[in-house]
Structure 1
Amino acid sequence: MENNSSLFDGNGISNKPFHRDGFQESLWQKSADTPGEYGEFDPSTLYDTLIVGAGITGLTTALLLQEGGKKCVIVDAHSPGFGTTGGTSAHINTFADTTYDEVEKDFGKEAAVQFAESIARSVAMIDRLVQKYNIECDFEWKNGYVYSETDQETEELNTLFESALSAGVSAKIAEHAPAPVPYKKAVVFDRQAQFHPLKYISALQKHFVEKGGVVINNTLIEGVDSEDGHHVAKSADKQIKAKTVVYATHIPPGGVNVLHFRNAPYRSYVIAATLADGAYPDALIYDMQEPYHYFRTHTTDGQQYLVVGGHDHKTAHGDPEQSFADLIEYTKQCYQVEEVVARWSAQYYVPSDGLPYIGQLPGASSGIYTATGFNGNGMILGTVSAMVISDLILHGQSVDEDLYSPGRIKPIAGFTEFVKENADVAARFIGDRFGIEEIKSISEIPADSGQIVEFDDQKLAIYKDQNGRVSALNPVCTHTHCIVNWNNAEKSWDCPCHGARFDTDGVVLTGPARENLEKVNINMQNQ
């Protein structure tokens, strides 16, 4: 893969055909056309709903509202699919990373059943939209297999299986499973699915615009004011008026919000490979290792690819290059890999109590909604979010509003995780300010890499491109002032506290930060 030193131009806009929030190009970017329908924005219009963010959550919400007779506008700081939707592995499941057993223990049996039912409705919603609009997005129904390799994993698999049955999910013990390694036990879930995420949301955008919706790209919403019963969103060159606002941004942007402390940011890694023997699995496959792995096959332009994911770690805490190396090495142990044709990563947020937060944004004016905390299940829970929020806006209520309420208070559920993650944030806020390497010359930094250093008595985030051009930034994240870390795989500066990410010029890639990293002029005589 060509290693361009700069993914973004001076305005923070990707130079690749289908934009995404990292240097690595996903398989989906290689095989999808950029949406071409945008509608015409009218600054004098009071829109029914402004949706901030054009991933699966935002576009599904917008289309459902437009179908319901509302007049909506979508605004994205970059472009559709720029964030996690463009980097997903695109599994559609009736089970989630938070198991039904965990939900039942923390919220009760009724909540576990409700969680399962809402997930089933989201899978049915994706199928409905694909069928209704004849969306060509490689949608396929598959069986999903989960297998164990040790006695401990088998105990955990038994719990996963029994709790799924208890919640009403269709599953059974598999007599034979397409596991890539010897296994002790396997469970099969029927009516799982997969698709091409960018082809899917491109079609959602097309039909949203056909129904009168408006899409505005490359526009960062800097803040929202509430006045006279409606909201006014402001960007550098626009004001957008709307009766309601939906933040479909994966984590609410802007100043510190309680949800920033109830969700922890994680990076997940994915590769696409061709196989020398053509032994591509015809199923969705998951192991129970730690770190875990998951496999599936995707065919695009007549070529089959093995898509493999896993080796997650908290954002800016692990080594992305090592995660890719470990994932590739493990895949080669399981399959006869001919060539790794793509590798990419994406970000997701783990909620402290296991369930996503969907509904009225805590601390915000009435009619401002959010959806976050999808764990590794963004395709299904993003769709759940769209269904919940569209129901709240269209009908004033949702059957799932209490279960997913962002204002819920559970003193026991998730408390340990809440304390652990926020203690970690505090530790990084203080600890990362010490022990920074002092350098005498910029020449000490290798080409095409970045480093947090002390240079000329300043703490700096310095990136040097392949041609020796140097970009120096203040390393203090503009959200809550933690010190960013360099992500060499995605050529970005990542915040270890709440997951804000910036490109090599300091431009915000993903929230919750709204402001770019400060550029610093340095004395290049010491280069």
Structure 2
Amino acid sequence: MRRETERYESYWMATTQGGNHPPLSEPVDVDVAVVGGGIAGLCTAWELSRAGRRVALVEALRVAESVTGHTTGKVSSLHGLRYARLIREAGRETARLYARSQQEAVEHVVATADELGIDCDLERAPAYVYAESPEVRDEVRAEAAAACEAGLDAVFTEETDLPFPVLGAVRVPDQVQFHPRKYLLALVADILAHGGQIFEDSRVVGLSEGTPCRVTTESGVQVTARDVVVATHYPVFDRALLFARLRPVRELVVAGLVPASDAPDGMYVSPETRTRSVRSAPSSEDGQRLLILTGEKFTPGARGVERRHGRLAQWARDRFPSLRPMYRWAAQDASTTDGMPYVGYFHPGTKHVYVATGFDGWGMSGGVMAGRLLAGMITGAKLPWTDVYDPRRLHPLREALPFVKAQAGVARHFVGDRIRLPKLDGALQVAPGTGRVLRVRGRRAAVYHDPGTGLRAVSANCTHLGCTVQFNDAERTWDCPCHGSRFGVDGAVLNGPATRPLEPVEVDRRPGEDGGEKDGGNRGGEGGG
């Protein structure tokens, strides 16, 4: 259960205030258009502006807010149990290039913060992947050897500063934890200082590839550019069919104060218990640090998000009894079928459109890496690991099983969620503060009961590819289980790949009155919260 002192808000968002950047209101002609204002887009725009390119960054909502504003702020080259798999499936050279690119991203953040004088709570800390069971201990031991073989300063250890016992861990020293918003808002200021342009509240809905390229916002205004970078987390354009090779993942976060003596110095993650991640950050309260705990991975659209939050909070209280919860939020990412991000040319036929996506929970180091890689491709300074991340790669043997599983899940939702739904026959059919997918006047509708104003209904068909959205009872949103689009209860797009809102559905909003259909309906069936 949520404690009264908790705020459902990201700590990074609560402790920073972004600038006000205008919407795109008139045509712009630049060298490079960057679509998306998260860490990948901002780092790309920053690298290019420093290289002398004329850059325009176009963001649908606000820069450094959507996915990037809800991370855990770890910049590390140790990515769970990644290197043993890479060596086994892709070879030692690929693993070495991956490790080098990620570690260079870590050092690039440190160097950039120092160069620009960014006060972003940056701290050097060791990163750990730990095990609590014998089975995972064996995997962790193998990962330590693989990470070392890939070139990281990795060791297996049985010693940590966690307040609970573990059976073993991989340790890589001198990684980074920071306040991602403070860092990125400083990059925004430097982009502007170097002549770059940033536009907010400007959702891009069209892309025309040519010489030059053009991107078009929902208001019809265009940016003309030689090169275009699509850095919208999940690509908003389907022409490369990357959506079929990406799987959206959502993860929960709880954060609160603990005495500094109870806070671990390292950054920890375990693949067990639906993933558990632990790290701490500086606090403005004397003798206290902010403890940040992450876990409970699930696919957007899964039911029982509030219950998952409860499990994570209980795990946190069991292991850190002094924790005083203050914030909780959720993060979203996408994983690829072969476990490697897609950064590079958007599709085989293009020479001027690029993409960055699929960071699988490691978007801080991945976003910095992507910015350097894409800027190098555009300026002619190709980096050694460029081919490793090429989105045009195909590895049928490595990708076949994950691809089949991902598409089976999409098909299950696309077909199964279209079974006959109960009809809406009154506001009390949907409990206050919850939502259900019901049939309203012959249409599938996502119906939310606002405790103050009554019913609010929108189409239940995701505007991306038509999957049926489901209610998220913790965040009060409608989430698509197929490709991760998320919408407010008013239908507004919160996360892509959808670019259009859910259409409103007419319904009687008055509590306790008829909701729009007269035949009494069926009160069983589709549940929402």
Q: What TM-score comes out, normalization by structure 2 length?
A: 0.91
Deviation at 1:365, TM superposition (A): 4.0
* AA matched with 2:359: F
Retained in 1: the 8 A contact 2:34–2:229?
yes
Deviation at 1:417, TM superposition (A): 0.6
* AA matched with 1:290: T
Which residue number corresponds to residue 309 of structure 1? 294
Q: Distance in 2 between matches of 1:33 and 1:392?
A: 33
Task: Rate the CA distance shift 1:472–1:189 in 2: closer, same or farther, 3 A.
Answer: same
Which residue number corresponds to residue 56 of structure 2? 73
Deviation at 1:87, TM superposition (A): 0.4
**Over residues 357-413 of structure 1, what are the superposed CA-to-partner deviations in whole Å (9 max), with x where a residue is unaligned?**
011112664311111110010101111111111100111633222111111011111
**Over residues 62-92 of structure 1, what are the superposed CA-to-partner deviations in whole Å (9 max), with x where a residue is unaligned?**
0100010101011100001222110001111
The 5 A counterparts of 1:318-357 are 318-357=303-342
Q: Distance in 1 between matches of 2:487 and 2:451?
A: 19
Identity fraction in percent: 29
Q: Distance in 2 between matches of 1:234 and 1:468?
A: 33
Residue aligned with 1:413, SS: helix
Deviation at 1:43, TM superposition (A): 4.4
* AA matched with 1:199: K
Residue aligned with 2:243, SS: helix
5+ residue gaps in structure 1? Answer: 4-22
* AA matched with 2:131: S
Which residue number corresponds to residue 12 of structure 1? none
* AA matched with 1:32: T
Retained in 2: the 8 A contact 1:97–1:375?
no
Which residue number corresponds to residue 521 of structure 2? none
Which residue number corresponds to residue 406 of structure 1? 391
Deviation at 1:286, TM superposition (A): 2.3
Residue aligned with 1:430, SS: helix
Retained in 2: the 8 A contact 1:41–1:214?
no
Retained in 2: the 8 A contact 1:463–1:472?
yes
Q: Distance in 1 between matches of 2:406 and 2:458?
A: 27
Which residue number corresponds to residue 468 of structure 1? 453
Q: Distance in 1 between matches of 2:456 and 2:393?
A: 43
Corresponding position: 1:487 with 2:472: yes
Which of 209, 212, 234 aligns to 2:192? It is 209
Q: Distance in 1 between matches of 2:453 and 2:217?
A: 37
Which residue number corresponds to residue 225 of structure 1? 208
Which residue number corresponds to residue 10 of structure 1? none
Which residue number corresponds to residue 523 of structure 2? none
Q: Distance in 2 between matches of 1:80 and 1:182?
A: 40
The 5 A counterparts of 1:354-503 are 354-362=339-347, 365-395=350-380, 397-503=382-488
Which residue number corresponds to residue 526 of structure 1? 514
Task: Rate the CA distance shift 1:208–1:340 in 2: closer, same or farther, 3 A.
Answer: same
Retained in 1: the 8 A contact 2:209–2:353?
no
Task: Rate the CA distance shift 1:471–1:256 in 2: closer, same or farther, 3 A.
Answer: farther
**Over residues 89-117 of structure 1, what are the superposed CA-to-partner deviations in whole Å (9 max), with x where a residue is unaligned?**
11111211461111112211110111101
Q: Distance in 2 between matches of 1:236 and 1:300?
A: 42
Retained in 2: the 8 A contact 1:309–1:327?
yes
* AA matched with 1:526: D
Q: Distance in 2 between matches of 1:205 and 1:160?
A: 37
Q: Distance in 2 between matches of 1:485 and 1:146?
A: 33
Which of 16, 19, 30 aligns to 1:35? It is 19
Which residue number corresponds to residue 18 of structure 1? none
The 5 A counterparts of 1:110-259 are 110-174=93-157, 176-255=159-238, 257-259=240-242
Corresponding position: 1:92 with 2:75: yes
Retained in 2: the 8 A contact 1:142–1:283?
yes
Q: Distance in 2 between matches of 1:466 and 1:129?
A: 47
Residue aligned with 2:143, SS: helix
Retained in 1: the 8 A contact 2:16–2:181?
yes
Which residue number corresponds to residue 9 of structure 1? none
Retained in 1: the 8 A contact 2:144–2:171?
no
Q: Distance in 2 between matches of 1:99 and 1:433?
A: 37
Which residue number corresponds to residue 9 of structure 2? 25
Retained in 2: the 8 A contact 1:147–1:179?
no
Deviation at 1:353, TM superposition (A): 0.3
Retained in 2: the 8 A contact 1:24–1:345?
no
Residue aligned with 2:292, SS: strand
Residue aligned with 2:231, SS: strand
5+ residue gaps in structure 2? Answer: 516-529
Which of 47, 50, 75 aligns to 1:64? It is 47
Deviates more, 1:57-66 or 1:143-152: 143-152
Task: Rate the CA distance shift 1:332–1:364 in 2: closer, same or farther, 3 A.
Answer: farther
Deviation at 1:193, TM superposition (A): 1.2
Residue aligned with 1:163, SS: helix
Retained in 2: the 8 A contact 1:256–1:479?
no
Q: Which runs of 4+ in 1 moved over 6 A?
A: 39-42
Q: Distance in 2 between matches of 1:285 and 1:226?
A: 43
Which residue number corresponds to residue 266 of structure 1? 249
Retained in 1: the 8 A contact 2:342–2:355?
yes
Aligned residues: 507
Q: Distance in 2 between matches of 1:364 and 1:463?
A: 44
Deviates more, 1:370-379 or 1:249-258: 249-258
Residue aligned with 1:438, SS: coil
Residue aligned with 2:8, SS: coil
Q: Distance in 2 between matches of 1:2 and 1:339?
A: 10
Q: Distance in 2 between matches of 1:424 and 1:157?
A: 29
Deviation at 1:184, TM superposition (A): 1.8
Q: Distance in 1 between matches of 2:196 and 2:81?
A: 35
Q: Distance in 1 between matches of 2:70 and 2:329?
A: 7
Retained in 2: the 8 A contact 1:33–1:199?
no
**Over residues 445-486 of structure 1, what are the superposed CA-to-partner deviations in whole Å (9 max), with x where a residue is unaligned?**
122221111234432101121203322111011111110001
Deviates more, 1:451-460 or 1:420-429: 451-460
Q: Distance in 2 between matches of 1:31 and 1:233?
A: 33
Task: Rate the CA distance shift 1:452–1:39 in 2: closer, same or farther, 3 A.
Answer: closer
Retained in 2: the 8 A contact 1:180–1:334?
yes
Residue aligned with 1:437, SS: coil
Retained in 2: the 8 A contact 1:252–1:511?
yes
Retained in 2: the 8 A contact 1:93–1:193?
yes
Deviation at 1:170, TM superposition (A): 0.5
* AA matched with 1:520: V
Q: Distance in 2 between matches of 1:184 and 1:254?
A: 45
